[in-house]
Amino acid sequence: MRPYFLPRITGLLVTAGLFMHATAGAAETPGAPALGDRLANAGLSLTLDYTGEAAANPSGGLRQGSAYAGQLHAGADADLERILGLDGTVLHAALTQRHGRNLAADAIGNNTSVQEVYGLQNLHLLTLTLEKKLLDGRVDMEVGRMVANAAFLNNPLYCHFQTNAICGNPVFVNHVSNYTSAPGSSWAGRVKADLTDTLYAHVGAYEANPRDQSPTGHGLHFGTDGATGVVVPFELGYAPGDRASSLPGHYQVGGWYDSSTYSDPLNDAMGRPSVLTGRPGMTEAGRWGASGRFDQVVWRSASNPARTLSVFGVAMASVSGRAVEDRYFALGVVQTGLVEGRDQDTLGLVITDQRFSDLTLARIAAARASVSSTVSAARHEVMMELAYGMQVTSGVRVSPNLQYIVNPDVTARPFTRDNPADAFVVGLKFTVDIAHILRGVSL
């Protein structure tokens, strides 16, 4: 890791620590209402947090390097039932500001970032929606500007890790469709209905618009010009046991339909490899994908219920369309409260496997043949991460991690004559929950 990253990280953490110390004293003022309580009474809930992710590959990849990416996230939820008397209605709004570099693209060569907050590195509207609950909360509807992975294919366990192979959402869906992920918001709507106490159905429709996913996009183009279709995620979920179960679990099956246009991964409009002709890939439209997911608490300490062991898994496949990948698997485990007295600390391990399609391998083979290389590209890319999450204070969390990438792909650099060496990555993720710190400030 380059030395100049360390002062940035250290400075942010020291500043946060000093700020917490100062505000903790203010919160102790007797008789003064806390800021969080005043906002809640007014029907407002604020979020403000910063996430930083540093990564370096001391071995493997195309070359050695380091990179830092960060995200400032700010949001507000307005309870319109409390403010305007609109039953079960909430207004959501959020922005992100992302900055930094992507080690995977700069030095490793693989198609999946090892820093999940990298992407659309600018100020971006993440959310502007109205959410309405009906039938005593059994039906939940939301419309406005939002991203699909805020409601679908997401799980709190996934972001105990820094790799974008799983954090945010399993990356496969982004490679084989125009599925929207943070912060690239677009017009959308979704409906979730509890069919029973343990069974639910969830479906949404999200505008697919290249403008909203471009590096210069900012989420404030409210027109639909440039839209090429919609992405429709759907899911049927089952949560065994009652809601107070000591060993809760969640099981989901579903998929997505993408009606929008996309470029053929191999051929141009003349049926020749676009990687050689330099022409755009043939325009295609319409593709399906399927997914299955689960998470399950398999152990809980009888003496300390905060200590748990959870496992999770994901399987995804491309069902139709011209895809760059055929299928994806993920398997992970997260231990919360590894030792007594550190109840919020976590230790996690995740392994993901992406399988590239014949179309992708043919594209790389054509490019390599043009530079007199006969080396075959690897069909599988396996990414692993071991991460320890340490809750330093109630508002600061630090997660050092080790990542290993078997067969970093060259899909973005098809003329590379050889395959990159397996990459070892050292990472550090940290989050400062500024809103949590401010919530206890007395006024």
- Average pLDDT on 431-440 reads 85
Rounded Cα distance, 117 and 92, in Å: 21
Q: How far apart are CA 291 and CA 316, in angstroms?
A: 4
Whole-angstrom Cα distance, residue 271 to residue 390? Answer: 53
Mean pLDDT, to the nearest integer, of 257-270? Answer: 97
**20 pLDDT band (50/70/90 cuts)?**
very low
The proportion of the chain whose per-residue pLDDT surpasses 70, expressed as a percent, equals 90
Taking Cα atoms as reference points, which of 351, 335, 309, 341 lies closest to residue 388? 335
Q: What is the mean pLDDT of residues 365-373?
A: 96
- pLDDT at residue 340, as a whole number: 81
The pLDDT, as a whole number, for residue 213 is 83
Grouping H, G, I as helix, E, B as strand and the rest as coil, residue 128 is: strand
Interatomic CA distance for residues 303 and 260, integer angstroms: 53
Arithmetic mean of pLDDT over the chain: 90
Cβ-contact 352, 170 below 8 angstroms: yes
Among 326, 352, 212, residue whose Cα is nearest residue 265: 326
- pLDDT at position 299: 94
| Residues in a beta bridge with 230 | 207
Q: Is the pLDDT at 25 greater than 80, yes or no?
A: no
Of the listed ranges 124-128, 241-245, 256-260, the one predicted with least confidence: 241-245
Query: Over 80: is that where the pLDDT of 431 sits?
Result: yes
Asked if pLDDT for residue 12 goes beyond 50, the answer is: no
pLDDT score for 21: 41
Residue 434's nearest CA partner among 99, 11, 73 is: 73
Which has the higher per-residue pLDDT, 211 or 384?
384
Predicted confidence (pLDDT) at residue 68 exceeds the cutoff of 90: yes
**C-alpha dihedral over 137, 138, 143, 145, to 10 degrees?**
80
3-state secondary structure (DSSP) of residue 377: coil
**Per-residue b/e over 180-216, b at no fewer than 16 CB within 10 Å?**
bbbbbbbbbebbbebeeebebebbbbbbbbebbbeee
* Diameter of the chain measured on Cα atoms: 78
Q: Quote the pLDDT of residue 418.
A: 94
What are 7's two structure tokens? Answer: 């002062």
Least confident of 59-63, 150-154, 212-216, 286-290: 212-216
- Position 103 scores a pLDDT of 97
pLDDT surpassing 50 at residue 94: yes
For the 5-439 domain, the top CATH level (class) is mainly beta
Report the share of the chain in percent with pLDDT over 90.
Answer: 80
The arithmetic mean of pLDDT across residues 273-279, rounded, is 96
* Tens digit of each residue's pLDDT (9 = 90 or more) over 210-237: 988 888 888 888 889 999 999 999 999 9
What pLDDT, on a 0 to 100 scale, did the predictor assign at position 60?
Answer: 97
pLDDT band at 441 (very low <50, low <70, confident <90, very high): low
Residue 29 has pLDDT above 80, yes or no: no
**Can you name the residues that pair with 252 across neighbouring β-strands?**
237, 293
Mean pLDDT over 149-171 rounds to 96
Dihedral sign of CA atoms 222, 223, 228, 234 in order: positive
**Does residue 207 register a pLDDT over 80?**
yes
- Per-residue model confidence (pLDDT) at position 439: 74
DSSP letter at 293?
A: E
Ramachandran angles phi, psi of 343, nearest 5°: -65, -25
What letter represents residue 263's amino acid?
S
The Cα–Cα gap between 352 and 314 comes to 9
**Distance, CA of 283 to CA of 264 (rounded, Å):** 6
Q: Where are the domains of the chain?
A: 5-439
pLDDT tier at 24 (50, 70, 90 boundaries)?
very low
Distance (Å, whole) CA 349 – CA 335: 9
pLDDT average, residue stretch 148-175: 97
Partners of 381 in beta bridges? 354
**Residue 355 pLDDT > 80:** yes
What number is the average pLDDT over the span 405-419? 94
Kindly report the number of other CB atoms within 10 A of residue 107's CB atom.
25
Q: Which amino acid is at 337?
A: G
Residue ranges of the alpha helices (H) in 58-131? 80-84, 103
pLDDT in the model for residue 442: 52
Closest to 439 measured CA to CA, from 2, 5, 9, 27? 27
DSSP letter at 146 equals: E
pLDDT over 90 (residue 79): yes
| 180 neighbors 212 (Cβ within 8 angstroms) | yes
What pLDDT band is residue 243 in, cutting at 50, 70 and 90?
low
The mean per-residue pLDDT over the stretch 375-385 comes to 97
Residue with tokens 């080396």, as numbered in its chain = 375
- Residue 223's nearest CA partner among 181, 179, 186 is 186
Q: Would the pLDDT of 174 be above 90?
A: yes
Q: Strand, helix or coil at 389?
A: strand
Q: How confident is the model at residue 33 (pLDDT cuts 50, 70, 90)?
A: low
Interior CA angle at 55 toward 53 and 59, to 5°? 170
CA dihedral sign, ordered 138, 139, 144, 145: positive
Residue 6 has pLDDT above 80, yes or no: no
Cis amide linkage into residue 183, ω under 30° from 0: yes
- Model pLDDT, residue 242: 58
